Structure 1
Amino acid sequence: MKKCHLFSLACVLLLSAFSARLNAESSVDFESFLGQHDMTWDRVPNRWEVAPYTGNGNVGFLFYQAQGEAKNVISIYAGRHDYYDHREPYEGQDLLWIYRGRLPLGHFNLKSEGDIIDADLRLDLWNAEMTGVITTTEGSYRVRGLSHAETDVIYFETDATDESIEISWHPEEPFSSVRKTLDAGGGPKAAGIWKAMREAPYPPTPEPQWSESDGMQFCLQPLYQHRGETTTGWEVRGVADARQIMIASIHHSYPERNSLETVKQNLLTAREWLAAQTFFADHQQWWHAYYPQSFLTINDAEKEAFYWIQMYKLGSAMRENGPILDLMGPWYHSTFWPMVWGDLNVQLIYWTHLTANRMSVGESLGNNIDKYAGNLASNGPAAWTDSANVATLFPQDMNAQISKVVPDMLVWIMHNYWLHCEFAGDRERMRDGVFPVLRQAVNSYFHYLREFPVVGEDGTIHIKHSWSPEYPGGRGQDINFTIGLIRWSCQTLLDINTEHGLNDPLAPQWQHLLDNLVDYQIDENGLRISKDIPFDKPHRHYSHLLPFYPLNELNMGDPENKQLFRKSLDHWLYVTLNKEKKDEAMSVTGYTATGAASMYACLGDAVQAYYYLDFLIKHNRVSPTTMYAEGNPVIESPLSFATSIHDMLLQSWGSQIRVFPATPDIWPDAAFRDLRTQGAFLVSAKKQGGVTQFVTVESLMGAPCFVQTDIPNPQVSIDGVAASSKQARLTQDGFYEIDLKKGQIATLTEGSLAEADFAIEPIPVKAGERNLFGLNKKTERLPGHQHYYKK
């Protein structure tokens, strides 16, 4: 007993020393590191796309001088992420675009005595706040602004020298931007829903209600028939010609009518925190805990900076208790796309947090699916019992009626929910959250197949009519997009059913559909759109490639599948870029580039992955602040840039972990710490001079562990002790199968542990390559600067 006790104690001490060494050698001074990637402005931001921005997932603001505004005014454009309309359907039609979309809020004007002539601003990523100086013809004033991380309060401070700053609130009419476009003669001219939305009544909202209480001012905006209300409240203290501070809060409520009370309480809380001198510390504490959840550095300052700005943007736009991140987050802009888009956009958004190990902020999707599962269940036809569906675009409550169609968009969204559970290792939520909604979605497939049966003589089940999102003329029979989603969803239900011993009576039907579903439609160029539709038109969307990426239903590790994937991917981009007829080539959009980068990374093609990664930054619709718009804001493309970086450094699909699978030669030095994979593993690794120094894999849940590395004949250790041949073995497909229990850490090194260099530190950035984004002299290199800042 004594010997066993001593042995156990020795193991504990060895593990503690090993873990301490890894942690000590992987410390990062985030404040200094992020400071070299802060966004800076040496000129006055003059529009949404080039403005500094802050947010907390619910409220936020942009700071800029709108074009056409008075020369002595610059504004804080406030936003509330969940500020949606709630009008009732008209003559049985939801009219989502105009009746249920995002609404404009308003802005605070900062009016100075002199005209604004210059700006020197900095967005401090580490502290998530904007600071700087505005220079006028009369003097100047310092500014400091942030959206508090822990409460829905905007803080803004001015400190004037030879100036006087007047702050005032200017609400906007909550009028649908889509309806405004239609009324002006814009938008699609087709009949049907577009004609109905042009002609449907659109009564105005009541006038805002202004009030004051205890030094605070309020502007309450009731919506039409008081179906929802939004209150903006603020308090300004101090001296206009010296230092003054404004605290503001915004709350949207429906069906409750408590926005005024909520805002008042938020402002009282902010008062208390400011008086107790905890306001800034509490805000910074959230951000200082958020950033170190993982770390990544590459010897490419521009790509590294872009990546970390996306981490800032992600933390500013998403919260676990917040709404589903739509195309704008807290930063409203007049748009023709005023909701959540479910045919690609929301899916790309909710990949970013996974490998980045920022799981909490990404819980908003699953939390809202759980919350609104009843709406999903009522979206389809009444006769389709025990089913679920959602329209391609939908408001935050996911209440979006749809006719007798396949549930492709909902199933793809459920793939994101499934991914979150896979990365989190949350098997209970997989059973209790994913399974019941996915089960109902697959029931919609069964209802569709029963109502519109197309069965071959050999019993093959065909899909009569569905849609390959956004492909021109992409509606028809046996759409590959639909086939892939049916196969993934049925197999996933079977897997969860088996894992948890649910004995679901529908399991035989899921298996029958898998066994008899039509094969993928393939020709000499790879995957087609469908049975009757080849891929032969320029197309920004990669919907027909979904069975490969991200579903991996056609396993990319299989040599034949890999060859088919490469052929399909090359053909998609060749036709889309249309190299032979440049005049007919479509403009490749942001997510075209990031999708291509990620897919080539999955094929191990680092050269092409890097090419398309770089393509995004050079896209002239990517602003110098890393925002992205196609006329209308669409937040997913820059966020998916971070996903592409992840896919180049670390992949986990098919229950296998791939370390540095597509790291280009242009990045000979790269390192990351605590990136997350499917199966709930935290992975750290370092490449120096093109040579991988080490890989560590920490198991959070004890799932099966398969790791691929380019370290030749690595030494494998578990918790600092050399692994036996039974604990670590090389499989035929080149992966190390490691018997790793929950809480254990596997280390792969070329030599002994004692000789390995475990230090993970930021790769030095030259002075000339710091602060490459914002709106400044350095951003003039970017096509997006030239496109958006026409001064």
Structure 2
Amino acid sequence: MYGVENRVDWKDFLSRHDLVWEKTPRSYFDAPFVGNGLLGAMLYMPEGEALRLDVGSTEVVERRNTEARSIVDNGRLPVGYFEFASTYPIDRATGRLDLYNAQARFDLRTKKKQSLQLDLKVLRNRDVIVLEYDSPADADGYWVFRPAMSVVPRLPMKGTSHLNPAAEMKVINNVNVAIQNRDAGGCYVTAWKEIKLPEGRKRLLITIQDSYPDHSAINKAVDLIDSSVSEHVMAQERKAHADWWNNYYTASFVSIPHPQMESLYWGLQYKLASMMRKGAPLCDLMGPWYKSTTWPGIWFNLNTQMLFSSLHISNQIELASTLHDFIYANEENLINSIPQQWRHNAAGLVRCTGKDQIEPVFEWPNAEYPERSNLIYLMYYMWEHYRVLMDDRYLEEQFFPLLKRAANFLFNVVTIDESGVIHIPESHSPEAIYDTDTNYDLSSLRWACTTLLAIDDRLHIGDEQRTEWKRVLKKLVPYPTDENGYMASAHHKAPLGHRHWCHLFQIYPYALINYDQPENRSIIMRSLQHWGSPSIPNTWTQAVISSMYSYQQKGEEALKHLELALNTSNLSANFTHSEGKNPCSETYGGLSRMLQDMLFQSWGNKIRIFPGVSGSWREAVFYQLRAEGGFLVSAGRKNGTTDWINIHSLAGEPCIVEHNFDAPFTVKGVKYKRLDERRVRLYLEKGGTALLYTGDEGKKITPVIVSNGNYNNYGLRK
């Protein structure tokens, strides 16, 4: 990197964020977890029970496809768990989750004080769970599979309603299999084999395969286990696994003087990659680690949007693209999910769905008043993804046509009053109220029209709806307000103590009303202070409040709510977020984005360096975060102010930087113009790099060190 030396020792750095168990994990919420984006496993020992290994797969779903809601008839299904049986019962399990190599290593102690070493991973490039463990003659052990009842636990069951038949246990070609047939067709199969290794070790190989409507999963599972027995194959796969994970982390770098948040951020980068991958089903609310839940599907009125809100910024483009893959593969279903009379020009997105996106928008949450803006809201983060890449072919061929359809879902139903003002009819404001002119709909439609016009200008399309978009921006009813700031809708005040902030989307994430508009700062703060209570007991809500304060450049308030987010009761020891013991994956993206928003923002055609950082954070550093306009941005903070900035242009777009230097600085590698005390315009061509710095040259990227810092915050410490 021009003018800056990267000195990060990744293995050493990530080791200070490994999850550590000094006590035995007892439940789903404190267990070590491994995954490869499709398969997942968790190791724990419930009080008074045997050690167990829960296994799951994101592609194992119900296939009933009846008229009932899809999260029952197409929702996730459980697989089961392996139970450890040994000569002497296990008394204690302690160990470490090695982030750098994506594997758990545990020491199992028997009641006879014997020590058994266990290693667990899910191979990244082969759908096999690999568990190796000591099994000496005087403490021999083996694993027994316990299949789970095959039913989606969303609605109360009567008798055997929705319950598939019991699994069939067989041995095929010396491979153990549990075949779970579905009444609706097809099956899913758990296959496993234990192999004796030298020096009293054993290796358990497990896979889970699903097929529909046929039963090809049986042979596929057996063949995969058979082909994984070879030591040569296993050595290759172990190396490929380590190489993938070691390289994955290096896409970007963040280090801050807050050990707990730094550990959480890097643990979440591990968790996000364990939950999703190219070619796998879209990540739902639990990822590959199954748990009985009332939410066994994919939610689109916040959860998926938040889950994918950070990946493009952290330069994890392959993971981020899994959202695009899902949406465009199911575009026809998005069209067919709305009433027939609008399918010629519109599309919509229901609140929750199975993996095939086949549900009508007018099903959830109300058959008459739907959530009309879910697709626009989702496409906001797809827009951010485009903006960090600047792929105009994608913009023209995929994004623009679908955003038009999403906007038309609202256009087709708007009304015009006697004064010519445009209104949006009654709909649902997520998790809040039914009413006309909800700020959720108004902000989403305004953002869509603004963005469609920007695309039309950039690509010189001259779209036939251009006049309509301009008319909406001119005539759409203003956001409803009262003495407390923005209301929820035309007739409802902002909900106090409410976790969902959709009535404030015009502030965040859309930034239609923002800090760069001095005339709007007062209403922003009134709205935020009225709604953004420290007492809201929800992790991602506090994370969003922190982000909103970062957008207002109020670092002390941003840090206050970061602390609140980290200390909510629904964020567990293995940083699983849950509500009512139901896993909620959205929080992992929200917490990551919270920190990114403090360090760096690029909305509104301007790159902001350390905009939401507290004065108490004297040092901070980030490397290769992606900015809108197609930039890779790195920066260092020293003694409470910006020390250096490095910006590399991937697309040759205009570049304005709000630098936050407090001392005279030098610019190298590019022509530039100082716009004022805080902003500079860089004339970067595609492929060009600029270095801005204070003091001497020779800047270095190294982790921030906190003296006596409490690292390795997660897991179970004594």
Give the TM-score category using the shorter length: over 0.9
Q: 1:133 to 1:553 in 2, by over 3 A?
A: same
Counterpart for residue 410 of structure 2: 445
Q: 1:519 to 1:621 in 2, by over 3 A?
A: same
**What is the deviation of 1:299?**
1.7
**What is the deviation of 1:505?**
2.1
Q: What TM-score, normalized by structure 1, do the two folds share?
A: 0.86
Mapping of residues 374-773 of structure 1, within 5 Å: 374-386=332-344, 387-403=346-362, 405=370, 407-449=372-414, 453=415, 455-471=416-432, 474-574=433-533, 577=535, 587-631=536-580, 632-712=582-662, 714-719=664-669, 723=670, 727-731=671-675, 734-751=678-695, 755-765=696-706, 769-773=710-714
Q: 1:21 to 1:506 in 2, by over 3 A?
A: closer
Question: Greater CA deviation, 133-142 or 304-313?
Answer: 133-142
**What is the deviation of 1:691?**
2.9
SS of 2:340's equivalent in the other structure is coil
**What is the deviation of 1:64?**
0.7
Query: 1:427 is aligned with what amino acid?
Result: D
Query: Which structure 2 segments of 5+ residues have no match?
Result: 363-367
**What is the deviation of 1:682?**
0.9
Query: 1:64 is aligned with what amino acid?
Result: Y
Q: Runs (4+) of structure 1 moved beyond 6 Å?
A: none
1:338 to 277, 296, 302: 296
**What is the deviation of 1:265?**
4.0
After superposition, the CA RMSD in angstroms is 2.1
Question: Greater CA deviation, 498-507 or 80-89?
Answer: 498-507
CA distance in 1, matches of 2:707, 2:560: 23
Counterpart for residue 321 of structure 1: 279
CA distance in 1, matches of 2:130, 2:504: 46
Counterpart for residue 42 of structure 1: 22
Q: 1:406 to 1:308 in 2, by over 3 A?
A: closer
Query: Over residues 537-570 of structure 1, what are the superposed CA-to-partner deviations in whole Å (9 max), with x where a residue is unaligned?
Result: 3211111011110011224311122322111111
1:101 to 59, 69, 75: 75
CA distance in 2, matches of 1:292, 1:277: 23
Q: 1:509 to 1:253 in 2, by over 3 A?
A: farther
SS of 2:699's equivalent in the other structure is coil
Question: Greater CA deviation, 250-259 or 156-165?
Answer: 250-259
**What is the deviation of 1:277?**
2.1
SS of 1:354's equivalent in the other structure is coil
Q: 1:496 to 1:768 in 2, by over 3 A?
A: closer
Query: 1:174 is aligned with what amino acid?
Result: S
Q: 1:497 to 1:769 in 2, by over 3 A?
A: same
Residue 155 of structure 2 is aligned to residue 175 of structure 1: no
**What is the deviation of 1:104?**
0.9
Residue 90 of structure 2 is aligned to residue 116 of structure 1: yes
CA distance in 2, matches of 1:589, 1:423: 30
The answer to whether the Cα contact below 8 Å between 1:38 and 1:125 also exists between their aligned partners in 2 is: yes
Query: 1:233 is aligned with what amino acid?
Result: A
Q: 1:766 to 1:220 in 2, by over 3 A?
A: farther
2:53 to 53, 70, 76: 76
Query: Over residues 23-60 of structure 1, what are the superposed CA-to-partner deviations in whole Å (9 max), with x where a residue is unaligned?
Result: xx212111011111111112211100000001111111
CA distance in 2, matches of 1:276, 1:466: 55
SS of 2:319's equivalent in the other structure is coil
Query: 2:689 is aligned with what amino acid?
Result: I
Counterpart for residue 298 of structure 1: 256
Query: Over residues 188-240 of structure 1, what are the superposed CA-to-partner deviations in whole Å (9 max), with x where a residue is unaligned?
Result: xxxxxxxxxx89x93431332333333322222122221x4211111210169
Question: Greater CA deviation, 240-249 or 628-637?
Answer: 240-249
CA distance in 1, matches of 2:553, 2:398: 34
Query: 2:142 is aligned with what amino acid?
Result: E
**What is the deviation of 1:117?**
1.6
**What is the deviation of 1:256?**
5.3
Mapping of residues 282-293 of structure 1, within 5 Å: 282-293=240-251
**What is the deviation of 1:321?**
2.0
Query: 2:65 is aligned with what amino acid?
Result: E
CA distance in 2, matches of 1:55, 1:745: 37
**What is the deviation of 1:447?**
2.3
CA distance in 2, matches of 1:689, 1:347: 36
Q: 1:369 to 1:255 in 2, by over 3 A?
A: farther
**What is the deviation of 1:116?**
2.0
Q: What TM-score, normalized by structure 2, do the two folds share?
A: 0.95
Q: 1:255 to 1:731 in 2, by over 3 A?
A: farther
The answer to whether the Cα contact below 8 Å between 2:3 and 2:691 also exists between their aligned partners in 1 is: no
**What is the deviation of 1:21?**
5.0
Aligned length: 708
CA distance in 1, matches of 2:709, 2:423: 59
The answer to whether the Cα contact below 8 Å between 1:359 and 1:424 also exists between their aligned partners in 2 is: no
CA distance in 1, matches of 2:2, 2:202: 47
SS of 1:511's equivalent in the other structure is helix
Query: Over residues 525-548 of structure 1, what are the superposed CA-to-partner deviations in whole Å (9 max), with x where a residue is unaligned?
Result: 111111111125321111101111
**What is the deviation of 1:274?**
4.2
Query: 1:761 is aligned with what amino acid?
Result: T
CA distance in 1, matches of 2:464, 2:617: 52
**What is the deviation of 1:501?**
2.6
SS of 1:448's equivalent in the other structure is coil
**What is the deviation of 1:645?**
0.8
**What is the deviation of 1:94?**
3.1
CA distance in 1, matches of 2:679, 2:705: 33
CA distance in 2, matches of 1:66, 1:612: 34
Q: Pick the structure with more helix per residue.
A: 1
2:326 to 348, 368, 373: 368
**What is the deviation of 1:290?**
0.3
CA distance in 1, matches of 2:677, 2:471: 31
The answer to whether the Cα contact below 8 Å between 1:108 and 1:168 also exists between their aligned partners in 2 is: yes
SS of 1:746's equivalent in the other structure is strand
Counterpart for residue 192 of structure 1: none
Query: Which structure 1 segments of 5+ residues have no match?
Result: 1-18, 184-197, 578-586, 778-791
The answer to whether the Cα contact below 8 Å between 1:165 and 1:241 also exists between their aligned partners in 2 is: no
Percent of aligned positions with the same letter in both sequences?
29
**What is the deviation of 1:434?**
1.5
CA distance in 2, matches of 1:290, 1:329: 19
Mapping of residues 148-159 of structure 1, within 5 Å: 148-159=123-134
**What is the deviation of 1:598?**
0.5
The answer to whether the Cα contact below 8 Å between 1:693 and 1:756 also exists between their aligned partners in 2 is: no
**What is the deviation of 1:414?**
1.4
Counterpart for residue 161 of structure 2: 202
CA distance in 2, matches of 1:311, 1:375: 31
Q: 1:68 to 1:274 in 2, by over 3 A?
A: farther
Mapping of residues 52-63 of structure 1, within 5 Å: 52-63=32-43
Counterpart for residue 139 of structure 2: 163
CA distance in 2, matches of 1:536, 1:310: 30
Mapping of residues 236-315 of structure 1, within 5 Å: 236-238=194-196, 242-255=200-213, 257-272=215-230, 274-275=232-233, 277-315=235-273
